[in-house]
Amino acid sequence: MSIQKARFAVPLVIAALLAFVSPASLAQNAEQGSKIAPEAKKVIDALGEYYKGLKSFTVDETTEMVMEAQGMKQTMNSDYAVAIERPNKVSRILKEGMMGATIVSDGKTLYTYLPMFKKYTQEDAPETAFDAVAGEAAMFSGQFSILSASLVSDDPSAAILEGVNEATLVGVEDVEGVKCSHIKLIQEEIDIDMYVQTGDKPLLIKIVPDMAKALATAGDRMPVKDMKMSVNVRYANWTVNEPIPAEKFSFTPPEGAAKADSLMAMLGREEQEESPLLGKPAPAFSLDLIDGGKAELAPHKDKKVVVLDFWATWCGPCKKALPTIIKVTDEYKDKGVVFYAMNQREDADTIKTFLTESELACPVALDKDGSVGDLFGVSGIPQTVIIGKDGSVQSVHVGLIPNLEQTLRKELDTLLSGKNLVEAPTEGEGAAPKEGAPKA
């Protein structure tokens, strides 16, 4: 395939690849064996506190992607005009370029428009600006887009450092006339150089993701062999805490744009089939735990919310999801949440070796013949199941979902507050989403 033809295929391949290595899905997090240099953390914490205190801001964002292969060079630019007003008003307009998404939330309705498909989606606006810009649409900009979204999270510093194994302060450098602290973030599958303005306004000025690891992971999935790729994201013309006109957060579909049911439908991929277990009593089981004892649901009925994660050590997405699930369920343990890592068809020695090498600790249930997985309809892993205090299946996620940590927290918070995520199904019907329940 020529690089000219590949330019249209590459955005989709890279989008899927970078969504796969988003911060929520990385195998290690900042609390597990990471090396965060104090001088680097000082800069990141200052940036985090600054953005956390902003009620609104606007900025011009430019992403330059350069691809080289077969002796040819292709440059793709995406120019955005960004406006944010807390808690959940967003305007991220793609002004120039085809790779990327326009995202607009007026606080009530969220619109996502993909120029490359000339289609848009419409849904209820999430409660926060972070959830609006770091949702499914982020797959079209990759992890560096989610890093940008971290600026509007509840804790920007923690969000930036999530998934980071090492952070160092390289030095102070001039970036297009702006004096910046140069921070290098090392992660398992992508590294990022981040440039933060020095002084009392620690604004984000530039992000440079190193694509080498991502391209190596993609391998034969790339449409052109031996491709090299560089990405540079620049931020300019910042304004903070100034009034933003209401019309900035309105969306009118471009002429000829068609409405789609979902982003996945837009990509020609069917929505994940809803589990027939939703709203129904969870199947009973009893399995040996790897360190002794039993994994059972009955003792937790009417007392605890139970999270089950069906996984295996050979499964790449499982190994990425498990640390996040452990982290969240550990934090919710004292609130009434129980977690079992439901290993599928592996021996204890293999599992223990993996846990030791990965520096992970959690209750592992041994589903040696996969029979419990069969009870829960497991046909692909990872599969995460959340069971309410009443013993009913309230949530089923198959595969490595975007924003895993945020989704788990929302669902657990809802269940612990006494609400359900789904209604119990009537005879012959599937479960219906509970009104007001959080969306994945």
Q: What is the pLDDT of residues 82-96, one digit of tens each?
A: 999 999 999 999 998
Same domain, 26 and 132: yes
Higher pLDDT, 314 or 322: 322
Would you tell me how many other CB atoms lie within 10 Å of the CB of residue 53?
A: 9
Q: What's this model's pTM, rounded to 2 decimal places?
A: 0.61
Same domain, 202 and 254: yes
pLDDT-based confidence at 404, cuts 50/70/90? confident
Last residue of a domain, one of 233, 266, 299: 266
Mean pLDDT computed over 222-229: 68
pLDDT-based confidence at 131, cuts 50/70/90? confident
- CA distances 190 to 21, 129, 289, 314, 367, Å, are 8, 25, 35, 21, 34
- CA distances 65 to 78, 141, 187, 216, 425, Å, are 8, 11, 21, 17, 48
| 438 falls within a domain | no
| 427 falls within a domain | no
Looking at residue 398, what is its pLDDT?
86
Same domain, 143 and 7: yes
| 431 falls within a domain | no
* CATH for 367: 3.40.30.10
**Residue of 157, 205, 184 lying closest to 49 (CA atoms):** 157
Same domain, 137 and 259: yes
* CATH for 201: 2.50.20.10
Same domain, 356 and 213: no
- Expressed in angstroms, the distance from the first to the final Cα of the chain is 37
| Three-class secondary structure of residue 440 per DSSP | coil
Same domain, 228 and 155: yes
* Distance in angstroms (rounded) separating the CA atoms of residues 42 and 51: 14
Same domain, 7 and 87: yes
| 276 falls within a domain | no
Residue 151 corresponds to which amino acid?
A: L
* Distance in angstroms (rounded) separating the CA atoms of residues 183 and 43: 8
| Three-class secondary structure of residue 180 per DSSP | strand
pLDDT tens, position by position, 345-379: 888 998 999 999 999 999 999 999 899 999 999 87
pLDDT tens, position by position, 331-341: 999 999 999 99
**Residue of 54, 74, 357, 372 lying closest to 201 (CA atoms):** 54
**At which residue do the structure tokens 């307009």 appear?**
93
Peptide bond into 382 cis (omega under 30): yes
Last residue of a domain, one of 266, 297, 325: 266
Residue 367 corresponds to which amino acid?
A: D
Q: What are the beta bridge partners of residue 136? A: none
Looking at residue 427, what is its pLDDT?
54
- CA distances 347 to 289, 334, 366, 378, 415, Å, are 12, 30, 8, 19, 34
Whether residue 238 is predicted with pLDDT greater than 70 in this model: the reply is yes
| 327 falls within a domain | yes
| 434 falls within a domain | no
Token pair, residue 264, equals 């996945």
Same domain, 262 and 310: no
**Residue of 392, 390, 374 lying closest to 281 (CA atoms):** 392
| 424 falls within a domain | no
| Helical packing angle, 404-416 and 316-331, nearest 10° | 40
Cβ atoms of residues 21 and 108 within 8 Å: no
Same domain, 232 and 297: no
Whether residue 270 is predicted with pLDDT greater than 70 in this model: the reply is no
Whether residue 234 is predicted with pLDDT greater than 70 in this model: the reply is yes
* Distance in angstroms (rounded) separating the CA atoms of residues 185 and 170: 10
| 275 falls within a domain | no
Cβ atoms of residues 141 and 100 within 8 Å: yes
Token pair, residue 275, equals 């589990």
Whether residue 276 is predicted with pLDDT greater than 70 in this model: the reply is yes
Same domain, 260 and 346: no
Looking at residue 262, what is its pLDDT?
72
DSSP letter for each residue of 29-94:
-TTSS-EE-HHHHHHHHHHHHHHHT-SEEEEEEEEEEEEEETTEEEEEEEEEEEEEETTTEEEEEE
Same domain, 82 and 210: yes
Higher pLDDT, 190 or 4: 190
Token pair, residue 131, equals 């959830």
Last residue of a domain, one of 216, 232, 266: 266
CB proximity list for 357: less than 8 A, separation 6 or greater: none
Provide the 8-state DSSP code for 268. Answer: T
Same domain, 142 and 106: yes
Looking at residue 4, what is its pLDDT?
40
* Distance in angstroms (rounded) separating the CA atoms of residues 78 and 399: 30
Mean pLDDT computed over 289-316: 93
Residue 148: which domain range?
Answer: 3-266
Q: Tell me how many domains the chain contains.
A: 2
Mean pLDDT computed over 7-29: 42
Peptide bond into 87 cis (omega under 30): yes
